[in-house]
Amino acid sequence: MAHFDDQLIELIAAVQASAHYRTIDPQVIERVGWSALQRYPSLKAAIKATKTELHQMIGAYADRAPQYAQWLAELQSAPNEATRQAVCRRLLSKHASTRERLPALAQLYPACFGGQPPQRVLDLGCGLNPLAIPWMALSPTTWYAAYDIDTALCAFLHAALPLLGVQGAAGICDLIAGPPPVAADVAFVLKTIPLLEQQRRGAGADLLRAIQAPRLVVSFPTRSLGGRNVGMATTYRGYMDTLAAAEGWSPRVIELPNELVFVIERHTPSRSRM
Ligand SMILES: C[S@@+](CC[C@H](N)C(=O)[O-])C[C@H]1O[C@@H](n2cnc3c(N)ncnc32)[C@H](O)[C@@H]1O
């Protein structure tokens, strides 16, 4: 057992030595590394497998060297709302998920909210999506809580949120263990369910059932990162149809060029607040 613990410590140190994975929450590295050590015969193979899995979870989509300090300075020095929105648009293009969504920003969020801007928003596996707040028409009293597994990303978003015209916080939450214990009017889970299902089969559906919000906005990519259409729309429609039938949900579907968005109304009572 002591030998296994030593190996886990060595594995975490090896993964963190790589700049690409240094800012991932250490407990997530430990979770992925622990599982890899069970499956691979050597420490070297387990380290390689851990890095590959972390890359699929986080690294494949994002800018390889995000300049968070510079990005924050740009937001801070923007002289007015229009300039700040232009900065956000440029920063949204630094992540594949939000880059693909750029042409739809102005239509997507009003369509999700249905004419009723929420007072409390959860953004789970958020990536850079909170930088789209300038297109959400939220009131300055809105509470926006964003979660991901990258400590540097979350620190940047935590500092950026007040500059975007809302109140809020960004923090770490490994969604494999469930949603944060926070209630909201709407929860975004954009393009994250497939990654959770890859990490643990059933984790995506478990998450959606457990979120404390009456409205869920859940999306799936319909093209691979390379731009190919490999039947993803059919696969994810099937996934949501099965889950919705089991849960008695009747999602409204919004089709974007690269993304399928499901808006689910659940009428679940909210229980707590961050
Ligand atoms: C494809 S990106 C989508 C980002 C954003 N939701 C969007 O659509 O613009 C997936 C995001 O999920 C996050 N993620 C992956 N595994 C996670 C986990 N176990 N818990 C929380 N977030 C996770 C990644 O760090 C990444 O930011």
Domain holding 49: CATH number?
Answer: 1.10.8
Q: 215 and 175 in one domain?
A: yes
Q: 196 and 147 in one domain?
A: yes
Placement of tokens 């387990």 in the chain: 46
CA nearest ligand 1 atom 25, residue: 58
State mean pLDDT over 176-182: 97
pLDDT at 114 exceeding the cut of 60 = yes
**Residue 115 banded pLDDT, cuts 50, 70, 90:** confident
What is the predicted pLDDT for the residue at 146?
98
16, 38, 59 - which closes a domain: 59
Q: Would you say how long the chain is, in residues?
A: 274
Let me know if residue 270 belongs to a domain. Answer: no
Residue ranges making up the domain that contains 50? 2-59
Measured CA angle at 27 (ends 21, 32), to 5 deg: 70
State mean pLDDT over 71-96: 95
Beta bridge partners of 62: 95
Distance 101 CA to ligand 1 centre (A): 15
Let me know if residue 202 belongs to a domain. Answer: yes
Let me know if residue 162 belongs to a domain. Answer: yes
Whether 207 is in the pocket of ligand 1, judged by its Cβ within 6 Å, is no
19, 36, 59 - which closes a domain: 59
Distance 30 CA to ligand 1 centre (A): 18
- pLDDT, one tens digit per residue, over 100-113 is 899 999 999 999 99
Q: 254 and 136 in one domain?
A: yes
Placement of tokens 């944060």 in the chain: 180
What is the predicted pLDDT for the residue at 2?
57
39, 59, 79 - which closes a domain: 59
**Number of structural domains the chain divides into:** 2
Let me know if residue 51 belongs to a domain. Answer: yes
What is the predicted pLDDT for the residue at 3?
81
What is the predicted pLDDT for the residue at 271?
44
Q: 126 and 171 in one domain?
A: yes
**Residue 272 banded pLDDT, cuts 50, 70, 90:** very low
Let me know if residue 144 belongs to a domain. Answer: yes
Q: CA-to-CA distance for 104 and 145, rounded, in angstroms?
A: 22
Q: 101 and 208 in one domain?
A: yes
Let me know if residue 145 belongs to a domain. Answer: yes
- pLDDT, one tens digit per residue, over 21-80 is 999 999 999 999 999 999 999 999 999 999 999 999 986 666 778 999 999 999 999 999
Q: 128 and 49 in one domain?
A: no
Nearest atom (ligand 1) to Cα of 174: 20
Q: 137 and 186 in one domain?
A: yes
Let me know if residue 272 belongs to a domain. Answer: no
Q: 125 and 38 in one domain?
A: no
What is the predicted pLDDT for the residue at 227?
61
pLDDT at 127 exceeding the cut of 60 = yes
Cα-based distances in Å from 59 to 23, 28, 85, 206: 11, 14, 26, 24
Q: 203 and 146 in one domain?
A: yes
Q: 173 and 135 in one domain?
A: yes
Q: 102 and 35 in one domain?
A: no
CA nearest ligand 1 atom 13, residue: 125
Let me know if residue 273 belongs to a domain. Answer: no
Distance 196 CA to ligand 1 centre (A): 9
Domain holding 103: CATH number?
Answer: 3.40.50.150
Q: Are 268 and 182 in contact (CB under 8 A)?
A: no
Q: What is the chain's Cα-based Rg?
A: 19
Q: Are 192 and 56 in contact (CB under 8 A)?
A: no
What is the predicted pLDDT for the residue at 273?
41
Placement of tokens 């109140």 in the chain: 167
What is the predicted pLDDT for the residue at 274?
42
- pLDDT, one tens digit per residue, over 212-255 is 999 999 999 998 766 666 789 999 999 999 999 999 999 999 99
What is the predicted pLDDT for the residue at 223?
81
Q: 20 and 109 in one domain?
A: no
User: How buried is 74 (Cβ within 10 angstroms: 0-12 exposed, 13-18 middle, 19+ buried)?
Assistant: middle
Parallel, antiparallel, or unpaired for β 252-256 and 259-265? antiparallel
Whether 199 is in the pocket of ligand 1, judged by its Cβ within 6 Å, is yes
Among 119-133, 166-180, 199-213, 260-274, name the one with the lowest average pLDDT. 260-274
Beta bridge partners of 254: 261
What is the predicted pLDDT for the residue at 269?
46
Placement of tokens 């926070």 in the chain: 182
State mean pLDDT over 1-14: 87
Q: Are 8 and 30 in contact (CB under 8 A)?
A: yes
What DSSP designation does 274 have?
-
Looking at the chain, the whole-number percentage of residues with pLDDT higher than 70 is: 93
CA end-to-end span of the chain: 38
